[in-house]
Amino acid sequence: MKKKLLIAFLILLLVPVAIYFCFPEVLYNYSITSVRKAAGLSKKVIEVDNYSIHYLEGGQGETILLLHGFSANKDNWPKISYALRPWMRSFSRRWLSLASWRSSVVSFSL
């Protein structure tokens, strides 16, 4: 009986660890999607000239634009957006980066 409990415990412990190490992208995407959904945010994209602008939108009322700093991203804002959603419509956007430009005309060199 004790051996079966130990085996069951090890399986319950090792399965999440295996998922974490074998499928990190799936786990990350699930986590981000869950947090966005809980905050009432929806992912949107608009096309302007040669690039795409990705942003999150949610809430109602007056509009506020939430901008992140260097080394952050738009997914730093869901907790704040959740708190603001009864009074404010929030937009949190991603700064333009190499990934969001479709054209090779733009240079990011110094």
Q: What is the tally of structural domains in the chain?
A: 1
Asked whether the beta carbons of 54 and 36 are under 8 A apart, the reply is no
Q: Is residue 95 part of a domain?
A: yes
Q: Is residue 106 part of a domain?
A: no
- Residue 68: what pLDDT? 80
Q: Is residue 105 part of a domain?
A: no
Please provide the size of the chain in residues.
Answer: 110
- Residue 97: what pLDDT? 55
94 lies in which domain range? 2-100
- Residue 57: what pLDDT? 92
In Å, how far from its chain's centre is CA 32? Answer: 4
- Residue 37: what pLDDT? 93
Stretches where the chain sits below pLDDT 70 are 94-110
Q: Is residue 14 part of a domain?
A: yes
Separation of alpha carbons 48 and 71, rounded Å: 24
Tokens 């603001």 locate to 84
Q: Is residue 18 part of a domain?
A: yes
Q: Is residue 57 part of a domain?
A: yes
Q: Is residue 109 part of a domain?
A: no
Q: Buried (b) or exposed (e) across 82-107, using 16+ Cβ within 10 A? A: bebbeebebbbbbeeeeeeeeeeeee
**pTM as predicted:** 0.66
Q: Is residue 110 part of a domain?
A: no
